[in-house]
Amino acid sequence: MAASFRLTLAQLNPTVGALGANADKAHAAWEAARDAGADMLALPEMFLTGYQTQDLVMKPAFVRDAMAHVQALAERCTDGPAIGIGAPEMQGEALHNAWYVLERGRVQAVVRKHHLPNEQVFDEQRLFTPADISGPYRVGPLRIGTPICEDAWFDDVAEAQAESGAGLLLVPNGSPYSRGRFDTRMMHMVARVVETGLPLVYLNLVGGQDDQVFDGASFVLNPGGQMVALLPGFDEALAHLDFHETQEGWRAVPSEMAPMPEDIERDYHAMVTGTRDYLTKSGFSRAVLGLSGGIDSALVATIAADALGPEKVHCLMLPSRFTSAHSLEDAAAVARNLGTRLDEVPITGAQGAVNQALAPLFAGLAEDITEENIQSRLRGLMLMAVSNKLGSLLLTTGNKSEMAVGYATIYGDMNGGFNPIKDLYKTRVFAACRWRNENHRPWMKGPAGVVIAPRVIDKPPSAELREDQRDEDSLPPYSVLDAILQGLVEDDCSVADLVAQGHDRELVKRVEHLLNISEWKRYQAAPGVRLTPRAFGPDRRYPLVNRWRDMS
């Protein structure tokens, strides 16, 4: 009779540092795997500690605690399936990113990561010691090779494990979301399958951690590169997968195939997930934000409502004498459509008091951007006061276009603890609003239907800090600005490259100048959901003082 093997994949959402809670989640998944008759439960990379740990993992007491929790988990799971779980391991002076195989109450094997990523948001080479390639281990009738995340992006680890007798490649991952990332993962994993002739299981984390969101979308490939199982993106899932030994080797039985949405939906889901987990994992249950009547704050309010529920979102309209009647109406309409609380707190009295106090110092000087920034900073002050008093996390609402060129007031509208749209260019803000009005998904806690009034989307953007102000008074049209920023930020184009693409050289130089002189603002900005491989923050690290300019 041909051998068979049942593997339970636990695509789950850990919390960094919550060792006991993460171990409990692993144990609950093990009980479900045991009840399903599984031979093994697999959990993702560094699941026991949560991921990414950053420098926390360099603290010896933390590593000792994590290893003790691994041992305790093994002792809790004596009569049932084996467990594969990611956690750090201290081996002498060497600290490893490891994957433990637990069975019959003890640690039966330890796989250690060989290739340590040192790009984009990863700097594992400063945290961990690279290990020699680990051989396969046996669970029941099956020998399993486990390239840990980055190990599967190169051919040497998988090939060595296949040559040592592995019948299956099981790849635990902590791979954060960015637009188009799934296709890149698939390309590399198909290559490993073609090279080794083995089936491959790609198991990923889900959930938000700081600015990163892990999107799950775990999958299984049979030899030839055929995908036979796909778990949902961004949602926790347990999947019981069967493998049978054939004359050609082990093969996975086709299973659940979750849909793969378009990028615009995956971006939106990432923003909702990242916002929800940043708040809840930080101990907040409610959010507050300034709702101006403009498109950016309307989108942030919608994301917050979908993440937490409308009843947990508090919106404030903070009008000045420059606030138009339609902005008041539009803010009220968005709050009403979403079902969130909206309070109006005028800043005119506070603005008058500040202007009066500064009048002796400003005597004889014309009004300029200083007075505009006072308005923004008064709004930031009041929003932070509400946040402090009511225990809600303040969400800030600046998009990537504004963050790139510094079209934001430090200590004003940049105030806040988290920014859901920080990595979303303005043109994508428009698209996200239209998509959300036309679509509703079960993971959204906000209402279905048109929640962002078309007028909010269609009207010319304005900060409303002076009479008849429009964003395009200070910036080029967003379609042009975003195309230039795409080249400068995402693609590392030179000025000459962008001029060759048809952009005006003077305009490109102006945008480049604004990008360079705004680094100090971005350095102090709130964290926000990462959607691209060039998000401001860990992905793109520039000096604050930088006198070099591209003269091409």
**What are the DSSP calls for 35-70, one per residue?**
HTT-SEEE--TTTTT-S--GGGGG-HHHHHHHHHHH
pLDDT in tens, 17-54: 999 999 999 999 999 999 999 999 999 999 999 999 99
Look at residue 467 and tell me whether its pLDDT is greater than 80: no
CA dist 474 to 78, 362, 471, 481, Å? 66, 24, 6, 11
Look at residue 13 and tell me whether its pLDDT is greater than 90: yes
If pLDDT is split at 50, 70 and 90, which confidence band does 1 have? low
| Nearest CA among 176, 149, 303 for reference residue 234 | 176
CA 127 to chain centroid: 21
Give the percent of the chain with pLDDT over 90.
Answer: 91
Question: Any idea what DSSP says for residue 253?
Answer: P
Averaged pLDDT, 273-296: 97
Averaged pLDDT, 253-264: 96
- The β-bridge partners of 215 are 206
If pLDDT is split at 50, 70 and 90, which confidence band does 297 have? very high
Do the beta carbons of residue 447 and residue 314 sit within 8 Å?
no
If pLDDT is split at 50, 70 and 90, which confidence band does 473 have? confident
Using a cut of 0.85, tell me whether the model's pTM lies above it.
Answer: yes
Look at residue 151 and tell me whether its pLDDT is greater than 70: yes
The helix (H) or strand (E) run that includes residue 227 is strand 226-230
At 169, give phi and psi (nearest 5°).
-105, 120
Q: Which amino acid is at 378?
A: L
Do the beta carbons of residue 125 and residue 58 sit within 8 Å?
no
Do the beta carbons of residue 366 and residue 479 sit within 8 Å?
no
For residues 468 and 309, the model is more confident at: 309
Q: Which domains does the chain have, with CATH numbers?
A: 7-253 (3.60.110.10), 264-523 (3.40.50.620)
Question: Any idea what DSSP says for residue 540?
Answer: B
Look at residue 213 and tell me whether its pLDDT is greater than 90: yes
Averaged pLDDT, 533-549: 92
Opening angle at CA 297, ends 295 and 300, nearest 5:
110
If pLDDT is split at 50, 70 and 90, which confidence band does 471 have? low
| Nearest CA among 176, 204, 178 for reference residue 11 | 204
Averaged pLDDT, 482-503: 97
- The β-bridge partners of 393 are 287
β-strand 40-42 against 82-91: which pairing, if any?
parallel
What pLDDT, on the 0 to 100 scale, is given for residue 327?
86
Residue 411 contacts by C-beta under 8 Å, 6 or more apart in sequence?
A: 377, 380
Residue 466 contacts by C-beta under 8 Å, 6 or more apart in sequence?
A: 322, 372
Active-site residue numbers?
A: 45, 113, 149
Do the beta carbons of residue 255 and residue 222 sit within 8 Å?
no
Look at residue 175 and tell me whether its pLDDT is greater than 70: yes
| Nearest CA among 422, 430, 441 for reference residue 261 | 441
